[in-house]
């Protein structure tokens, strides 16, 4: 069985943070001293990916939508059956809940 995992993030702050981390830490940009040039290159690369992107909407898949925001999110599961695929779904849900609990404890401990 092949299971597709699609993650979707609509939070611009998270996307921007991830882009900056990618440019700072990726070997693709290690030789690029100008951060803005790297940012422009990566933004162009993302635009090209978006042109050919096709969302998963058939077969066996798990979609995780806005799970990194810390404000809930949505998990869409389609055509998943069996022990191991079920455990994969359980693991992803557990990781998400665990991260939200950690975020909650961090926020509570700052007050």
Section 78-91 average pLDDT: 92
List helix spans (H) across the chain.
12-25, 35-52, 83-109
Task: Say what the pLDDT of residue 93 is.
Answer: 83
Task: Indicate which CATH number applies to the domain containing 74.
Answer: 3.40.50.300
Instruction: List pLDDT tens digits, range 17-49.
Output: 888 888 888 888 888 888 888 889 989 999 999
pLDDT, tens digit, for every residue of 53-70?
999 999 999 998 888 766
Q: What is the DSSP letter of 53?
A: -
pLDDT for the residue numbered 49: 93
Q: The domain containing residue 103 runs over which residues?
A: 4-109
Phi, psi of 110 (to 5 degrees): -85, -10
| pLDDT band at residue 99 under the 50/70/90 scheme | low
In the chain, how many domains are there? 1
Cβ 10 vs Cβ 72: under 8 Å = no
Please state, in angstroms and rounded to a whole number, the distance separating the CA atoms of residues 16 and 87.
32
Mean pLDDT over all residues of the chain?
Answer: 82
**Quick one: pLDDT band at residue 107, thresholds 50, 70, 90?**
very low
Q: Is the pTM of this model over 0.85?
A: no
pLDDT band of residue 109 (cuts 50, 70, 90) is: very low
């Amino acid at each position: 069985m092949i299971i597709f995992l699609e993650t979707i993030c609509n939070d611009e702050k998270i996307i921007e943070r991830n882009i900056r981390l990618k440019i700072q830490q990726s070997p693709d940009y290690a030789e690029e001293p100008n951060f803005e040039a790297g940012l422009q290159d990566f933004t162009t690369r993302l635009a090209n990916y978006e042109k050919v992107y096709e969302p998963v909407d058939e077969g066996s898949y798990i979609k995780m939508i806005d799970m990194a925001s810390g404000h809930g999110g949505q998990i869409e599961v389609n055509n998943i059956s069996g022990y191991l695929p079920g455990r994969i779904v359980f693991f992803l849900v557990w990781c998400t809940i665990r991260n939200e609990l950690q975020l909650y404890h961090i926020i509570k401990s700052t007050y």
